[in-house]
Structure 1
Amino acid sequence: MSINRPVATALAAALCLLTAACGSSSSDDKASDETTEAAASKSGYPVTLDNCGHKETFQKAPSRVVVMNGASVAEVSTLLALGLGDKIVANQQGYGMSEVPGRAAAIKQLPTGNIKLNEAYDIPREAMLGLRPDLVLSVTTYGFDQKNGFATRDQLKQVGANSYVSPQGCDDDPSRMTIADSYRLLRDMGNVFNVSDRAAKLIAASEKNIATVSAKVKVEKKPKVMVLFSNMSMGSNDFSSVLANGIVNDILARSGGANAFADTTKATFADLSKEKVAATDVDAVVVISYNDPDPAAYAKKLLKEFPQWPAAKNNTYVTLSDSMYLGPSNDLAVEKVAKMLHPDAL
């Protein structure tokens, strides 16, 4: 079943903004700007973050949080995982499903602020200021770009609102993203809301789960895995939503696998022809759903289209959603992918 055109277009536009293939670039110097500085008194405040070159100082825990879209659920899922859902006054994120029981429903129940979104499927400046936020979360710096009709970080500061760009969002390029960035997002939000103990427990549990799985699937020859969004077109070729770099590669490595298309580009997404895909040995497929109610149907169709793949001969695929990208649940993706690749080891 295909995603409706507006939703598909929104995701394609938003994800395009996150890729080097769409003109973004990154550097180690800029990445260092995302390091977190936390200075807190016994009460936990003030807390200061150095975020994409902006000093953001929090005198108390935010109580009116706005979560921008950006084709992500990392930010809203992180807040929910930390027990901070009641702080959200408007959320525009949602994948429609989740590996965490109850999370998709919890996200759906959050207030949206009754905002009329702009052409970028996000919150325009005047509507944002009308929400009276004290913290605005954006996936990348694009969410604070005045040229695209958004409130800038300086404009938000003028009305008493802090702002935050998620890890690797300073350069709008998640091609270098790893699971450590998910932990950094948790730590930052833990510090901002004075719940760093909760963040530490979540991180420790995730690290333990991943280490346990990884220890069981250490193999010399790692199966080659194709990772892509279902029913999504983002480029000129038949397969333009194939993930080649970024956090998925970290997840695959810890699951005892490797990305079959990692060498096709340095960008996050590969824009591949049908011939290139057909000529590649694919041992397994991971289909990521973005508001697609039946990603398994897409996976089965894909395997039928390429019967020569080992993945097709063995019917080796798994459908996932939020756990495969930035967010608090990467350990679930590691476990599910590892079970697909190495069923006898787990």
Structure 2
Amino acid sequence: MSINRPAAAALAAALCLLTAACGSSSDDKASDSTTEAAASKTGYPVTLDNCGQKQTFRKAPSRVVVMNGASVAEVSTLLALGLGDRIVANEQGYGMSEVAGRAAAIKKLPTGDIKLNDAYDIPREAMLGLRPDLVLSVTTYGFDQKNGFATREQLKQVGANSYVSPQGCDDDPSKMTVADSYQLLRDMGKVFNVSDRAEKLIAASEKNIAAVSDKVKGEKKPKVMVLFSNMTMGGNDFSSVFAHGIVNDILAKAGGANAFESAAKTTFADLSKEKVAATDVDAVVVMSYNDPDPAAYAKKLFKEFPQWPAARNNTYVTLSDSMYLGPSNDLAVEKVAKMLHPDAF
């Protein structure tokens, strides 16, 4: 005879009332106390609700795979937390970093020596062959079976947990803020039982950002263009221009505003040369994605649009990982603020 779960629970409760067989004995209490004490001491188990899926960690992961996803946030977060030795394969890298030594540290990480797919990421069979116990993906795309990736369920079947970074559940980075960078740090802190390190990094970042924001408070907010250098994402001449996302939060904290915020509702605006020329741009932030000379791109822009106040005043800064999701947003806030409001520093 099969009994459904609620009925079985009710039946067990009724039997406990009628007999002494399953009372709350001192042995049961001792067992519960021992379990709680062990969990408190080790920090495990840890359960995260990630994109509607519960991921339970019974110990710190030791074979971590970091998928590409055109991000560097996940690998940078692990390195910032001192967890680089847990990575068995990393496919992320911007080639540059605002943090001294980080780009070199990322380059030294193992890649798993696997053949990547057309999206420059890890296909299913290769992923399973790496024997991971944790796989990090920027968005749910990295676990999409239709695109040849190992699904979260398939990973679970081989004993691997999976994690999608903040705002990656709906693949909508247009809503991303600096708080999401802190969430990523906190989640990895919990997973690896290094929450103290995560909280120290977050506190330092918040303190730095607050100090910068206080210096530029009340200042006029210049209009800033933020874009990736030498990158095409759409059909127009300028398709890597940010309209929304974490960059807007960084600009606001630095005393600026996005010149192209109204140009699109998505993260990126796909703009014609005419639209860009018709917009007043007071300053430019060029983000480098494996571009060895982003400053050359800024100078090329100023030559193409000499009417911009930014071009007349040569107002630009080149950044990479600190301007996007990751543990170093305070560096971007400071560098952008110093560009926009040099007299405040």
- Note if 1:108 corresponds to 2:107: yes
Match of 2:227 in 1: 228
User: Do the aligned residues in 1 keep the contact of 2:226 with 2:285 (CA within 8 Å)?
Assistant: yes
Match of 2:158 in 1: 159
**1:215 is paired with a residue of what secondary structure?**
helix
> For residues 168-247 of structure 1, what are the structure 2 equivalents within 5 Å?
168-247=167-246
Please, which runs of 5 or more residues in structure 1 have no aligned partner? 1-39
Which entry has the higher C-alpha Rg, 1 or 2?
Answer: 2
1:119 to partner: Cα distance: 1.2
- Note if 1:85 corresponds to 2:68: no
**1:41 is paired with a residue of what secondary structure?**
helix
Match of 1:19 in 2: none
Match of 1:289 in 2: 288
> For residues 1-346 of structure 1, what are the structure 2 equivalents within 5 Å?
41-346=40-345
Q: Distance in 2 between matches of 1:221 and 1:340?
A: 13
1:179 to partner: Cα distance: 0.1
Q: Distance in 2 between matches of 1:157 and 1:241?
A: 36
Aligned-residue Cα RMSD (Å) equals 0.6
Measured against aligned partners, the alpha-carbon deviations of 1:221-272 in whole angstroms (never above 9, x if no partner) come to 2000000000011111110000000000000000000000001111000001
Match of 2:19 in 1: none
Instruction: Please say which of residues 115-124 and 183-192 is displaced more in the overlay.
Output: 115-124
Measured against aligned partners, the alpha-carbon deviations of 1:5-33 in whole angstroms (never above 9, x if no partner) come to xxxxxxxxxxxxxxxxxxxxxxxxxxxxx
**1:182 is paired with a residue of what secondary structure?**
helix
Measured against aligned partners, the alpha-carbon deviations of 1:89-141 in whole angstroms (never above 9, x if no partner) come to 00000000000000000000000000100111100000000000000000000
Match of 1:4 in 2: none
Q: Distance in 2 between matches of 1:57 and 1:110?
A: 26
- Higher RCO by CA contacts (8 Å cutoff, separation 6 or greater): 1
Number of equivalenced pairs: 307
TM-score (norm 2): 0.88
Q: Distance in 1 between matches of 2:54 and 2:290?
A: 35
**1:112 is paired with a residue of what secondary structure?**
coil
Amino acid at match of 2:284: V
Instruction: Please say which of residues 79-88 and 210-219 is displaced more in the overlay.
Output: 210-219
1:220 to partner: Cα distance: 4.6
| Identity over aligned pairs, percent | 89
Q: Distance in 2 between matches of 1:220 and 1:88?
A: 44
User: Do the aligned residues in 1 keep the contact of 2:225 with 2:241 (CA within 8 Å)?
Assistant: yes
Measured against aligned partners, the alpha-carbon deviations of 1:27-70 in whole angstroms (never above 9, x if no partner) come to xxxxxxxxxxxxx5331000000000110000000000000000
Amino acid at match of 1:340: M
User: Do the aligned residues in 1 keep the contact of 2:219 with 2:255 (CA within 8 Å)?
Assistant: no
Amino acid at match of 1:214: S
Q: Distance in 2 between matches of 1:127 and 1:155?
A: 13
Please, which runs of 5 or more residues in structure 2 have no aligned partner? 1-38
**1:287 is paired with a residue of what secondary structure?**
strand
